[in-house]
Chains A and B, each alone.
Chain A
Amino acid sequence: MPLHRCALCHIDLDQVSVRRGGQLLLQDVSMHIHCGQLTVLIGQNGAGKTTLIRALLGEIPHGGAIRHVDSAGRDLAHLTTGYVPQHLSFDPEMPLTVTDFLASAFSRRPVWTGIRKSVRARVAEALADVNAAGLGDTPLGRCSGGELQRVLLALALHPAPDLLVLDEPVSGVDRNGLKMFLDTVTHLKETRHMAILLVSHDLRLVREYADHVVLLDKNVLAQGQPEAVFSSPAFESVFGTGAEKTVPPRPDVLLPEMLLTDTPPAHGGAAHVHTARESEAPQPDVLLPEAPSAHGDAAHTHAAREGEKSRPAAGLSRIARITSSPRSKASAAPAADPGAEKEADR
C-alpha cells in the first residue's frame, strides 16, 4: 500500500505478518505511526489488533519489518515503547499501593525495603502529569478503571517513549473516564510530540480524537483521517451498513457543516473536511489497499496532504478546539498547516 511521508520521524511497519499454529493472524500490514499524532486501530474482535500490538512490542515473532525511522527513512535509535495494557491480571486484594507499583518500575531497590524520597517525588510527579495526583497511597486494586488507566499511563511515560501504545479496555471504564484519559493523551501528544497508537472500541471517541485511523481485519482495509475511514466502503463492510451514521461526527468537523447551513464559506480548508453529509461522495484520502490508483503513489501522497490541511492546528489542546468559537475555528482551520507547525516545534 502506498504511504505518504511526513517531515518527521515515524514508526514504519512494512508488510508485517504474523502466523501462529498454521493460522495467518496478520497479513502484510503496512502503516506509519507518526510522532505527534494519535493513530487509532479499529476493527472487529479477532481482527488482529492485539496481535499487531504484540508484534510492535516484540512479544511475538513476525514477518516484515518494524523500524523507527526519520523522514528520509534512515533508522533512528532503538525504539523506546511505553505500553498501557488493556487489563491487568493481578489480585485486587494484593497490598500494593500505586506508589509501590510505580516505584518498582522507577527504582531497583526492592519496594518492600522502603522507597527513597527521591523516588517518591518522581512517582508523585509522574502521577501529577496524568491528572492522577493524590492516588499514590491508593491500593492498586481499589483504583477505578479510569484511575488505573491513568496510573498505567504514568508508568508508560517513564522513560519517555518514542511510541506510546494504548490498548483501551473493553469494559470497566465509562465514557467520561475514557474522555478524560484521551484528553490527557491528546495533551501529551501535543506537548511531548510522541507517536501514539491506540486500540479503541469506542468509535465515537475515535472519531472525536484520532488524527489517523487504521481499519484492520488481518490486513489494513482502510486508513486515513477519521472522517474518511468512517465513510469508506470498508468501514461499512466491517461494521455494517449505516454504522457510520450511528457514530456522531467529531465536534470540530461539524463546524463547516454548521457554516454551510448559515453562511457557507466561500473557500478554504473547511471545505476539505469530510462531514457526515459528504460521506456519500468518494473520499480521496481514504487509502484502500485493493483500490487501483490511476495516479499511483503521487495521488495518495497528495490526497493525504490535502487531508492534513483540513485538520485544525496541532498544538491546540482538544478542549480548546471543542470549546472555542465555531467562527474563529472555521477561519483558523484553513490557515493551519500542521506540518509546518511540527517542523517549527522541532
Chain B
Amino acid sequence: MENLYALMDTLLPFEVFRFSFMKNAFLAVLLLTPLLGLLGTMAVNHQMAFFSDALGHSAITGIGLGILLGLRSDLMAMLIFGVVWAVLICLIKQSGSASTDTIISVFSSTSIAAGLLILARGGKFARYSSLLIGDILAVTPEDLLSLAIALPLGVILWAAMYNQLLLTSVSPSLARSRGIHTRLVEGAFVVLVAVAVMLAIRWVGVLLINALLILPAAAGRNLARNSRQHAVFSVLIALFSGILGLILAYHQDTSAGASIVLVAAACYALSLLLRRWRK
C-alpha cells in the first residue's frame, strides 16, 4: 500500500491528495464508479431505476437483521439481505401478479420500515445515521482490497451476461425463443446490481447510491448512439463525477457523496442540452 501511495504522490502531486484518507477515497472512486457506470447502462435501459433505489433502502434492513442475528460484519449482512431482497423482487415481478412499480414500491417501503424498526430500538438510530449519507473518506486499505477483487469479478460477470440481457431487455419472448434462460439472466443481473450497491453504500449512502448508478448512465445515454458509446460515456462520466466531486468536497469541506452526485447531475443536465443541440 505504501508503494501505491508513493506512486500516487509522484503522479498526482496535488495538495488534495496529500492525506492518505483522500488517496483511499480516490482509489475507491476509481474502483467503484466504473462498475456502477457499466451496470447503470442496463438499469437505465431496463427501466430499473426505481428497483436499484429499493435495493439501496434494503441495506437498512440488512444491517438491522445482521444485528438481530448476531452477524459480525455489517457488509456481509447487507450483502446477504440485499441479494435475497433483489431475487424476491425479481421473482414476484416475473410472476406478473402486479405492476413492477407497485411491487418495487411495496418492497422499498417495507424494507425501510423494517430496518428503522430494528435500528431505532431504544433510540439508537443516530448510531446508524451515517449509513444514510455514507462516508467515502472512511475507506480503509482493507476495503480497497475487497473493491479491487469485486471490480474485475463484476466486470467479467457483466461481460458474460450482457448480450443475453440485452436481448431479454428488447423482448423476453424473443430471447426465450433463442434459448436464453431469461429468468436466470435477469436474476443474475439483479444479484450483481445488489452486490455492487451494497459494496458502495457505506461510502455513498442509502440516499445517494441510486443517483450514482443511474445518473452517469442516463447522461451517457443522451450522448451515445450505440451500445459501446453508452458504456464508454457512462463509465467516463461516472469516473469524472467521482473524481471532481471528491476534489470539490475536499475544497468546500462538505459531503463527498453529495458532491459526486451533484457533479453527475450537472453532467446529466449538460448531456440533455447537447442532445437537444445535436437534434
Contacts and interface: CB of A to CB of B under 8 A. Distances in A.
A104 B173 contact: no
Given A57-B177, A105-B178, A113 B228 contact: yes
B166 A96 contact: yes
Given A104-B163, A105-B163, A112-B162, A95 B170 contact: no
Interface in A98-132: 99-101, 104-105, 107-115
Interface string A33-74: 000000000000000000000100101000000000000000
Given A89-B170, A89-B171, A101-B170, A94 B45 contact: yes
Contact of A83 (B45, B177, B226, B229): B177
A140 B170 contact: yes
Contact of A110 (B47, B162, B172, B176): B162
Interface string A83-95: 1010011110111
Interface string A275-318: 00000000000000000000000000000000000000000000
Interface residues of A, number: 35
A105 B164 CA distance: 8
Contacts of A95: 221, 224-227, 229-230
Nearest to A88: B171
Contacts of A54: 173
Interface string A144-168: 0000000010010000000001000
Contacts of B226: 95-97, 99-100, 139
Contacts of A81: 177
B45 to A, nearest CB: 5
Interface size class of chain B, counting residues whose CB lies under 8 Å from the partner chain: 20 to 34
A107 B172 CA distance: 18
Given A104-B166, A113-B228, A91 B45 contact: yes
A100 B170 contact: no
Contact of A112 (B160, B169, B221, B230): B230
A95 B217 CA distance: 11
B167 interface: yes
Given A91-B47, A93-B221, A105-B178, A114 B170 contact: no
A93 B41 CA distance: 12
Given A104-B163, A104-B166, A111-B162, A88 B174 contact: yes
Interface string B204-227: 000000000000000001001111
Contacts of B160: 110
A152 B167 CA distance: 12
A96 B227 contact: yes
Interface centre among B225, B227, B229 (most CB of A within 10 A): B227
Given A88-B171, A97-B225, A107 B177 contact: no
Nearest to B45: A94
Contacts of A104: 162-163, 166-167, 227
Contact of B227 (A83, A100, A107): A100
Contact of B170 (A83, A90, A111): A90
B159 interface: yes
A111 B227 contact: yes
A12 B171 CA distance: 27
Interface centre among A89, A108, A165 (most CB of B within 10 A): A89
A59 B227 contact: no
Contacts of A112: 38, 41, 162, 227-228, 230-232
Contacts of A96: 45, 166, 170, 226-227
Interface centre among A59, A93, A97, A104 (most CB of B within 10 A): A104
Nearest to B228: A112
B173 A57 contact: yes
Contacts of B232: 112
B174 A59 contact: no
Contacts of A108: 163
Given A88-B170, A104-B166, A110 B159 contact: yes
A99 B228 CA distance: 11
B125 to A, nearest CB: 38
A110 B189 CA distance: 14
Contacts of A114: 228
A139 B225 contact: yes
B167 to A, nearest CB: 6
A177 B176 CA distance: 27
A89 B170 CA distance: 6
A101 B171 CA distance: 11
Given A97-B226, A112-B230, A59 B173 contact: yes
A115 B162 CA distance: 13
A221 B226 CA distance: 47
B48 to A, nearest CB: 11
Given A110-B162, A112-B230, A59 B176 contact: yes
A161 to B, nearest CB: 10
Nearest to B232: A112
Interface centre among B45, B160, B173, B176 (most CB of A within 10 A): B173
A110 B155 CA distance: 11
A327 to B, nearest CB: 45
A329 to B, nearest CB: 38
Interface of B: 38, 41, 45, 47, 158-160, 162-163, 166-167, 169-174, 176-178, 221, 224-232
For the complex of A and B, the 3 pairs showing the least CB-CB separation, nearest first, are A112-B231, A83-B177, A110-B162
Given A104-B163, A104-B166, A105-B178, 9 more contacts: A59-B173, A89-B171, A90-B45, A90-B171, A96-B166, A100-B228, A101-B170, A107-B163, A112-B231
10 contacts: A59-B176, A59-B177, A90-B170, A94-B169, A96-B170, A104-B162, A104-B227, A109-B163, A112-B227, A152-B174
